Structure 1
Amino acid sequence: MLLVGNGTLITRNADAPFYADGAVAIDGRTIAAVGALDDLRAAYPQAEFIDAKGGVIMPAFINMHEHIYSAMARGMSVKGYNPHGFLDILDGMWWTLDRNLDHESTWLSAMVTYIDCIKNGVTTIFDHHASFGKIRGSLFRIEDAAKQAGIRSCLCYEISDRDGQDKCDAAIQENVDFINHARADDSDMIAGMMGMHASFTLSDRTLETCASVLPPDTGYHIHVAEGIEDLYDCLEQHGKRIIDRLMDFDMLGRQTMCAHCIYINDHEMEVLKHTDTMVVHNPESNMGNACGCPPTMELYHKGILTGLGTDGYTHDMTESYKVANILHKHHLHNAQAAWSEVPDMLFHNNAVMANRYFKQELGVLRAGAAADVIVLDYNPITPMDETNCNGHILFGMTGRSVTTTIAAGKVLMRDRVLTGLDEEKILSDSRQCAQKLWNRINSGR
């Protein structure tokens, strides 16, 4: 048994949201009790004590839209790459990268991403993978890394017609195989979805095939209207908007997650709400790719379940929090925008969304919930309580404030030292693999 204490405790439990000197008792994978430190010390005198050293104790972060495969693009220069729009970015950078990934580079991309997740206090991710250089078995390689790292992961493979029918069919089969495999895993640490790229790279034949082979009680993870080109293509090729096209193939619903949703209209929002489809906002990526600002505040206020992700741009959820906060203020010319909506997306909605795929309650510190706990090195310069703790996180903390990360009761990092991974070897191997990958890309082989 573990006892994490001697710090300010933010629980995200409305019944007992805040303890000035709190503690969390962990029994196996589950939180046994939450309360005042003295009370829990008396109740669990034999527990191993993890000292928060006056910092902040809170639930670990959840990232609802990741791209593990993007890891080795950090610092990469592609010969001749000079994009003049979003499609050039996709083809010149990301599709070039994923066409050259093999199992080794996929596995190492996963390992270094998971290391960054641990260091930033993220213990649950929903990843959208692409490695058209090696499709079959790729999700299983990521699963291997996830289990070694101890990060709860919902995985899918990016189905697309962009590289031909054979690879498209292989991608569909990889999703089906992994979904069925994950369902047989009783750890509650692995799940699968049917991953799809975007409407403009998916034919009707492919959508029909996906719908016909989708295992029951499973949804789709798809990019929707991330660029205006996706919308134009759907209107020109199919005579309808993207959400309507997905609706026609019965692909919406409470198990489906639509990333981005920048260029959608009021009608499409009503369809998303009616079908209880999830939406994920990725502010930094949208800004970095000059794609535009999605109507996230409108989505939120219409009651559409909207969460927060990073799109692989970062693995620090506090970065996404900070950027989303200012993006919507700037876009709407409203300094009052996003104060409450974005933290609700991050701290509440992400957990609700994740629990559509994982059984044990996430995102909260209370008895019976998953033992996903982080400690942050933060000593407030102004008073902090349940009414203003989000402001302290927004302006006073970063992901690298995390000193200790616990996932499903397992200590993954303690006092900034990873406990179960050989970080130096993994990073060294990753650098060597990345150099070979870059050479392969720029040599055309």
Structure 2
Amino acid sequence: MSNIIIRNADILPMTGEREVINNGEIAISANKILSVGEAGSAPENFQPDKEIDASGMVAMPGLINCHTHAAMTLLRGYADDLPLMEWLNDKIWPIEGKMQPEDIYYGSLLACLEMIKSGTTTFADMYSEMDRVADAAGESGMRAVLCRGLIGIAPNGDEALADGIEFARAYNGVANGRITTMMGPHAPYTCPPEYLEKVMAAADELDIGIHIHLAETLTELEDIKKQHGKTPIQLMDSLGMFKYFTLAAHCVHVDDEDIKILADNNVGVVHNPESNMKLASGISPVNKMLKAGVKVGLGTDGASSNNNLNMMEEMRSAALLQKVSNMDPTVMPAYQTLEMATVGGAKALGMEQEIGMLKQGLKADIILVDFNAPHLHPRHDNFAHMVYSAHSADVNTVIINGELVMQNRQVLTLDEEKILAEVEKCTKELLSR
């Protein structure tokens, strides 16, 4: 790792109060931020190995994708315009059953490439063959929170649980600490209570959290109520899941009692607006959750239900969806939305002491967004431009854990041409099986 200094940037540190440091500089030492401030604020004895001139650019924390399924990039465009359960049962799960470890590796590399090029520096992922996902994340330079997806009602449910435990134990903290692990029960309708008890016991033993889909559809809500007499959130609470750090994806169909439970138990919620819209799952009451003190981050879900991993688009969609669903244009202002994609995501993942802000002592996960573009002028409000106007292609430079991962739109850690070719090859072979 080297010492890096970024000069001449307009800095959005995301430390609160809509702070902007114009023409500022950021000093990076090893994998951490040494200083953030006005020009000349770096320590006098700081000796950079590399200097980046960020004139005309905005520096901000890397975006955090709190819920995705990276290898599902292979299924982008494969099964569109279907309801969730038909999509899963008739299309996705059958083709996933034919996937080989190498398919998942190259699908995950494609996802990492896409995420880096759109400014995402951290992602939380749930899938199978997670050692290959970890390989891809490690090679890409990304920060990742990984778990083996578990289907308790499947014939291999117990085998998958054993695999998930072994993966979590073996990979927690690898890649210089960039990769951490969780347990990953899929959802209440695929993991019955007795299976979830085993998952919680594993989380307790390994001292890790739990990543789960909750309250995504009305079908799930109605089925769980019919079977257990409780909402999905209330069922998880009654089982004791929220005693463990929990990352709950979706939370679309939640009532006031559910929201109180989420807030009281410090559950991290992931809002996936584009996937929820595309699958017609519903609109999560994000504004109500935020007001109640729930920690809410943003996610893309998998590329087969989105159909991209572009957190820039996700921010815009999240803000506009809350405004129109509440019939209130003041809901989810730009700064609050950008918080959800950065420090809010870090809080949802339990990582706010490491990432999510540009602040001395935090990990150096930084993106530079080139504002030298017609759609980003005039420069009235950088926060509004980031949420409502910026494109993924505006991301010029990406630094993760103090390492330069992309510069001038060129990803330095991955062979883009090879990955694209291998993905096409993998997909053709997958569809022929």
Q: Could you state the TM-score of these two structures normalised by the residue count of structure 1?
A: 0.89
Structure 2 residue aligned with 1:367: 360
**Counterparts of 1:38 and 1:246 in 2: how far apart (Å)?**
52
Among 6, 9, 34, the alignment partner of 1:7 is 9
Could you tell me how far 1:281 is from its partner in structure 2?
Answer: 0.4
Give the direction of change, closer, same or farther, for the CA distance of 1:6–1:330 in structure 2 (3 Å limit).
Answer: same
**Counterparts of 2:264 and 2:48 in 1: how far apart (Å)?**
51
Structure 2 residue aligned with 1:87: 85
Among 413, 416, 424, the alignment partner of 1:420 is 413
Q: Would you say the 8 A contact 2:143–2:179 is kept in 1?
A: yes
Q: Secondary structure at the match of 1:158?
A: strand
Among 107, 113, 116, the alignment partner of 2:114 is 116
Q: Would you say the 8 A contact 1:69–1:98 is kept in 2?
A: no
Q: Would you say the 8 A contact 1:307–1:350 is kept in 2?
A: yes
Q: Would you say the 8 A contact 1:60–1:123 is kept in 2?
A: yes
Q: Would you say the 8 A contact 1:269–1:299 is kept in 2?
A: yes
Could you tell me how far 1:111 is from its partner in structure 2?
Answer: 0.5
Structure 2 residue aligned with 1:382: 378
Q: Secondary structure at the match of 1:262?
A: coil
Matched, 1:18 2:3: no
Amino acid at match of 2:412: T
Q: Would you say the 8 A contact 2:71–2:105 is kept in 1?
A: no
- The aligned length equals 422
Give the direction of change, closer, same or farther, for the CA distance of 1:370–1:228 in structure 2 (3 Å limit).
Answer: same
In the alignment, structure 2 segments of 5+ residues that lack a partner are none
**Counterparts of 1:227 and 1:281 in 2: how far apart (Å)?**
13
Matched, 1:206 2:202: no
Structure 2 residue aligned with 1:65: 67
Q: Would you say the 8 A contact 1:8–1:55 is kept in 2?
A: yes
Q: Would you say the 8 A contact 1:62–1:123 is kept in 2?
A: yes
Matched, 1:335 2:335: no
Structure 1 residue aligned with 2:185: 196
**Counterparts of 1:422 and 1:185 in 2: how far apart (Å)?**
22
Q: Secondary structure at the match of 2:277?
A: helix
Give the direction of change, closer, same or farther, for the CA distance of 1:41–1:381 in structure 2 (3 Å limit).
Answer: farther
Could you tell me how far 1:191 is from its partner in structure 2?
Answer: 0.9
| Match runs of 1:236-385 below 5 Å | 236-253=226-243, 255-312=245-302, 313=306, 314-339=308-333, 341-354=336-349, 356=350, 358=351, 361-379=354-372, 380-384=376-380
Percent of pairs with identical residues: 29
Q: Could you state the TM-score of these two structures normalised by the residue count of structure 2?
A: 0.92
Amino acid at match of 1:3: I
Matched, 1:393 2:377: no
Could you tell me how far 1:395 is from its partner in structure 2?
Answer: 2.5
Q: Deviations over 1:223-265 (max 9, x none)?
A: 1111111111111222222112111221114610111111121
Give the direction of change, closer, same or farther, for the CA distance of 1:45–1:36 in structure 2 (3 Å limit).
Answer: farther
Structure 2 residue aligned with 1:74: 76
Q: Would you say the 8 A contact 2:35–2:41 is kept in 1?
A: no
Q: Secondary structure at the match of 1:303?
A: coil
Structure 2 residue aligned with 1:159: 150
Structure 2 residue aligned with 1:402: 395
CA RMSD of aligned residues (A): 2.1
Could you tell me how far 1:43 is from its partner in structure 2?
Answer: 5.3
Structure 2 residue aligned with 1:134: none
Could you tell me how far 1:45 is from its partner in structure 2?
Answer: 5.3
In the alignment, structure 1 segments of 5+ residues that lack a partner are 132-137, 441-445
Q: Secondary structure at the match of 2:165?
A: helix
Amino acid at match of 2:290: Y
Could you tell me how far 1:38 is from its partner in structure 2?
Answer: 4.1
Structure 1 residue aligned with 2:94: 96
Q: Secondary structure at the match of 2:342?
A: helix
Q: Deviations over 1:197-245 (max 9, x none)?
A: 1111122331222223333432211111111111111112222221121
Q: Would you say the 8 A contact 1:217–1:255 is kept in 2?
A: no
Could you tell me how far 1:190 is from its partner in structure 2?
Answer: 1.1
Q: Deviations over 1:402-431 (max 9, x none)?
A: 011110011111101111211111111111
Structure 1 residue aligned with 2:425: 432
Structure 1 residue aligned with 2:33: 31
Matched, 1:148 2:144: no
Q: Would you say the 8 A contact 1:70–1:94 is kept in 2?
A: no
**Counterparts of 2:316 and 2:352 in 1: how far apart (Å)?**
29
**Counterparts of 2:327 and 2:352 in 1: how far apart (Å)?**
40
Amino acid at match of 1:285: S
**Counterparts of 1:17 and 1:336 in 2: how far apart (Å)?**
20
Q: Deviations over 1:389-408 (max 9, x none)?
A: 31121233122210111100
Could you tell me how far 1:42 is from its partner in structure 2?
Answer: 6.3
Q: Secondary structure at the match of 1:187?
A: coil
